[in-house]
């Protein structure tokens, strides 16, 4: 499978501008032969959207843009980050990824591990995923993770969570792991990310595709 990385730089709150960045990158990568295009975490809204999610029009407009992207998808699938409504109990929203394929219903994955340390306060807005399930895309089972979901094993100073999403997805047959991320940049962070992803790939014996 040919996977394209739309490593764009979304602007928080600029939904229409982010749409243009996403669709431009998607069309360029699809034209180059990508079968699946990945965006960063929360690419539609920008990260972190913080209290913008409580504005009455913000989440509906982000969902409308998701539908616009779905209508523009052609042969290549698009996996895009967005804010989803929580239809169950708990916090009102999910940090989510949507799989967009031409002629097929939108499929969604929600972030499992919500950081609440350092600059992060995701549990103020988001409810964690209630289940994990790989997506089948062109005959391959793809395990979708979002940012923190992949940081659990070797690179946090101490265990913060009771679950490991990557292991859970592989247990359900995931052949490829993808990660949509909006991890902040600091000095030496690229090397840390490289070692983290490479170490996880070696541990699980699976290819891991990381889009930040």
Catalytic residue IDs: 41, 111, 147
Strand arrangement, sheet containing 36-38: 3-5, 36-38, 77-85, 93-100, 107-110
Cα separation, 10 vs 85, whole angstroms: 21
Burial of 77 (0-12, 13-18, 19+ CB in 10 A): buried
DSSP, residue by residue, 62-131:
HHHHHHHHHHH--SSEEEEEEEEE--SSSSSEEEEEEEE-TTS--EEEE------STT--GGGTBPPPS-
Token reading at 174: 């995931």
The owner of tokens 């290549």 is 76
Cis peptide before 48 (omega within 30 of 0): yes
* Dist. CA 97–CA 40, nearest whole Å: 9
Phi, psi of 133 (to 5 degrees): -155, 130
Both tokens of residue 188? 């030496």
């Amino acid at each position: 499978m040919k996977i394209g990385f739309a490593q764009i730089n979304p602007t928080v709150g600029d939904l229409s501008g982010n749409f243009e960045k996403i669709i431009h990158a998607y069309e360029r990568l699809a034209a180059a032969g990508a079968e699946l295009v990945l965006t960063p975490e929360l690419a539609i809204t920008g990260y972190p959207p913080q209290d913008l999610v409580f504005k009455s029009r913000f989440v509906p407009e982000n969902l409308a843009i998701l539908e616009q992207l779905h209508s523009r998808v052609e042969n290549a699938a698009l996996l895009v980050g967005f804010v989803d409504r929580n239809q169950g109990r708990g916090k009102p929203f999910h940090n989510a990824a949507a799989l967009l394929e031409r002629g097929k219903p939108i499929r969604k994955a929600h972030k499992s591990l919500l950081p609440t340390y350092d600059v992060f306060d995701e549990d103020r807005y988001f409810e964690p995923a209630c289940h994990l399930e790989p997506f089948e895309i062109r005959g391959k089972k793809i395990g979708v993770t979002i940012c923190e979901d992949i940081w659990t094993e070797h690179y946090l100073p101490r265990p913060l969570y009771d679950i490991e999403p990557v292991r859970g997805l592989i247990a359900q047959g995931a052949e490829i792991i993808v990660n949509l991320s909006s991890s902040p940049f600091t000095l030496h962070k690229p090397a840390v990310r490289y070692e983290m992803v490479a170490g996880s790939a070696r541990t699980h014996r699976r290819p891991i595709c990381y889009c930040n």
